[in-house]
Chains A and B, each alone.
Chain A
Amino acid sequence: MKDEKDARIGDVMAPFKMAGDLVFAKVMGDTAKLYNYLRDARDVLLSPMKTDIATTPYDVVYEEDRVKLKHYRPVTEIRLKTPLLVVYAQVNRETMLDLQPGRSVVETFLNAGIDVYMIDWGYPTRKDRYLTLDDHINGYIDNVVNFTLEKHNIPKLHLMGICQGGTFCVVYTTLHPGKIKNLITTVTPTNFDTDASLLNIWARALNPDELVETYGNIPGDIMNLGFLLLNPARLMIDKYVGFLENVNNKDFVENFVRMEKWIFDSPDLPAETFREFITNFYKKNLLIKNELEVGGRRVDLKKITMPVLNIYGKHDHLVPPAACDQFTSKIGSKDKEDLCLDTGHIGIYVSSKTQKEFGPKIIRWLMERDGNSKEVKPSEKVSAKKTAPKKAKQKKL
């Protein structure tokens, strides 16, 4: 009986022993190669690295509570007479649009002569837990828009939203259509009634009231854990195996570290905003049904009548095409365009391939609709002068 048991265990372990022997033999057989790999890896990891993100120079021109408005310093003659305001999501940070020189949406816009403003939502603290969607959309965004319009003495500006920031922009545009000249939504969820993304499935099963009661503001780390669980095999294992395979390649390591810096730089989400967003958008899908109310006013998508460009990723696992492709059919605009790029949620902004499509497409589209703008080649490069950001020019309570 005992011998039989021993034999069975030996039988189970034999293949692993054999595989182990082979791996060991392979490693030992390539000793010189292994030595070189380890030496190069050490040299790379111990050498000074350029891993700063968001290095394009800007000035903070407006501040209200934790929210800041960044104005990027023009690097060439302004060719678009209307400035562009970019609204990022409250999940992660807007630095993703300016990850590194050569892979920066902001840099592409500046090189094309666009006057770029971007909202930095900052890091909410416990005192921000009562801030609602209304406070963010009709409060902060509206104040930022008013500030920019007054500064340029113009009636309307171009508005571009990223992910959840795009959803905010859609709501804002329906409530303040007179202030928006052109609207660009990128990877923006507007239809939440889809099972194409795990986020939608999980969010519907979540009890936001309990989460808010548990944490107050929802910790960024909890959100990040949720994102990692979307594909644990790739995001928690394979990604780092890939890093180890390329740890002797300095460029690879620098890019990897930049992306890691961005991914895990996650502000908490204000509690009430999170509660409203999960309940009214993910659970009830009120926006696309024209049943959403923000600040006591109904959000009617038909009130969006200005030109709209809606861009999304074919392989987006967070905001799948099914969450984006109904939007333009529900709005009142006649000049509207859907563009589905062959990329994912983040790749749309940072991949080398998409850099050649995404930014230039927006530039062309805006140029055609800006009026009196000078023609420009989107690929035209003008080197940016790097200086430290200046202090705020205006600060509100």
Chain B
Amino acid sequence: MEKEEKEKSMPHNVLLESWTKASMEFWKSAASMWPAAFGGTPTASGSAGEGGADTGAEDPLRMFREIWQTLFSLVITPQAGDSHPVSSFYEGMLKLSQPLWTGYFQLQKLWMEGVEKGEPRTDLEGFENLAQKITKTCFDMYEKEFGQILKMPQLGLTRVYQERANKTIEEFTHFQRALTEFMQLLLVPMEKAFNAVQTEIKNFEKQGRDALKDPKAHYQLWIKTMEEHYMVLLRSQEYTEALGNTMKALHDFRLSRSQLFMDLLQDLPIPTNRDMDELYRDLYLLKKRVKELEKKVKSYER
């Protein structure tokens, strides 16, 4: 709590500096994990970015990290003469982007926590929870920061149109949130199946490499496990609710968007869906009436 208050009271450049340092630390640890994770020789602990072990092609992240460091060292240590237009612009951008930094801090914290745990994800804690937390943080951040701006009362002649435009943006975000949550739910059986195969492979590993001769058997295990988990998920209340939420969000978004487009089209010589639907309805009723009359005439003729 105190830390958060302290962070809020920090000047923006200090905030940025601390974030840069944290980023550097993150990339350092990522760089040292990379070779270990993908089968190479791990670099000396803590040496990344400090010369020595990260020289040559062994550290593919070195160049990226150095560019990153250089860029930020330039940005966070402005030269004398702060009244320079570039500096003013820079200050302005910092103010504008403060909510982004705050949000990014939260995201990075979540990510680091996930990496810190570093446990084999044989349960579902891994992707499911982390991804959901990140999604929630992103969209909560939007709701708290930018979403509020869209809800500001609009004034004047264009008030209605501006409100519709804002509503469309808001509904789009709601739809994206619902869709992301829905897709995350759909990915859960896939991860469960991967975990099942991972466990299976580890068991084979204990028996020796010869036990792993047939990759197709592992594929079959994966697809079968995935199918079973999908069958459970697709019948669950959770899935039906997520599907319902997504469809509702899609409906609200498309309706707002159509309204917005109709506003835009009304000044152009282009008929809108509303115009066409009215016409189609009249046509439908007329044809129905003609057909009924045609039948009556035929019956009189007989």
Which residues on A are within 8 Å of B, measured CB to CB? 2-3, 5-19, 22-23, 26, 65, 126-127, 129-131, 135, 139, 195, 198, 201-202, 205-207, 210-211, 213-216, 229-234, 237-238, 241, 397
**Sample of 9 further A-B pairs with CB below 8 A, known A126-B276, A207-B251, A397-B290:** A2-B32, A8-B118, A26-B213, A126-B277, A131-B284, A206-B247, A210-B251, A232-B186, A238-B223
Taken residue by residue from 201 to 244, chain B's Cβ proximity to chain A (1 for < 8 Å, 0 otherwise) reads as 11001000100110100110001001100110011000010011
Taken residue by residue from 270 to 288, chain B's Cβ proximity to chain A (1 for < 8 Å, 0 otherwise) reads as 0001001100110110011
Which residues on B are within 8 Å of A, measured CB to CB? 29, 32-33, 36-39, 42, 45-46, 115-116, 118-121, 186, 189, 193, 198, 201-202, 205, 209, 212-213, 215, 218-219, 223, 226-227, 230-231, 234-235, 240, 243-244, 247-248, 250-251, 254-255, 273, 276-277, 280-281, 283-284, 287-288, 290-291, 294
The answer to whether A210 and B235 have CB atoms under 8 Å apart is: no
**Residues in A neighbouring B276, C-beta threshold 8 A:** 126
The answer to whether A8 and B255 have CB atoms under 8 Å apart is: no
The answer to whether B29 and A2 have CB atoms under 8 Å apart is: yes
* Bound-state Cα–Cα, A6 to B33, Å: 6
Q: Which of A6, A210, A397 sits near B248, CB closer than 8 Å?
A: A210
* Bound-state Cα–Cα, A129 to B284, Å: 9
**Residues in A neighbouring B288, C-beta threshold 8 A:** 135
The answer to whether B291 and A397 have CB atoms under 8 Å apart is: yes
* Bound-state Cα–Cα, A135 to B32, Å: 69
**Residues in B neighbouring A126, C-beta threshold 8 A:** 273, 276-277, 280
* Bound-state Cα–Cα, A5 to B273, Å: 59
The answer to whether B227 and A234 have CB atoms under 8 Å apart is: yes
**Residues in B neighbouring A18, C-beta threshold 8 A:** 201, 205, 209, 212
**Residues in B neighbouring A216, C-beta threshold 8 A:** 273, 277
**Residues in B neighbouring A9, C-beta threshold 8 A:** 33, 36-37, 118
The answer to whether B219 and A8 have CB atoms under 8 Å apart is: no
Q: Which of A15, A129, A201 sits near B201, CB closer than 8 Å?
A: A15
Q: Which of A19, A135, A238 sits near B218, CB closer than 8 Å?
A: A19
**Residues in A neighbouring B42, C-beta threshold 8 A:** 6, 10
State how many angstroms separate the Cβ of A147 from the closest Cβ of chain B.
12
The answer to whether A8 and B243 have CB atoms under 8 Å apart is: no
The answer to whether B46 and A2 have CB atoms under 8 Å apart is: yes
On whether A8 and B29 interact (CB within 8 A), knowing A13-B38, A19-B201, the answer reads no
* Bound-state Cα–Cα, A234 to B230, Å: 10
Closest 3 CB pairs of A and B: A15-B201, A233-B227, A130-B284
**Residues in B neighbouring A26, C-beta threshold 8 A:** 213, 215
**Residues in B neighbouring A195, C-beta threshold 8 A:** 235
The answer to whether B234 and A229 have CB atoms under 8 Å apart is: yes
On whether A6 and B120 interact (CB within 8 A), knowing A198-B235, A232-B186, A233-B223, the answer reads no
* Bound-state Cα–Cα, A114 to B240, Å: 45
**Residues in B neighbouring A198, C-beta threshold 8 A:** 234-235
State how many angstroms separate the Cβ of B192 from the closest Cβ of chain A.
11
A sample of 27 cross-chain residue pairs with beta-carbon separation below 8 angstroms, ordered by A number, consists of A2-B32, A5-B29, A5-B115, A5-B118, A6-B45, A8-B119, A12-B120, A14-B205, A15-B202, A16-B198, A22-B213, A126-B273, A126-B277, A127-B280, A131-B284, A205-B243, A210-B247, A210-B248, A213-B251, A213-B255, A214-B247, A214-B254, A230-B234, A231-B227, A234-B223, A234-B227, A237-B226
* Bound-state Cα–Cα, A12 to B118, Å: 9
**Residues in A neighbouring B116, C-beta threshold 8 A:** 5
On whether A22 and B240 interact (CB within 8 A), knowing A126-B277, A126-B280, A397-B290, the answer reads no
Closest chain A residue to B36, Cβ basis: A6
* Bound-state Cα–Cα, A13 to B201, Å: 11
* Bound-state Cα–Cα, A213 to B209, Å: 58
Closest chain A residue to B225, Cβ basis: A233
State how many angstroms separate the Cβ of B185 from the closest Cβ of chain A.
11
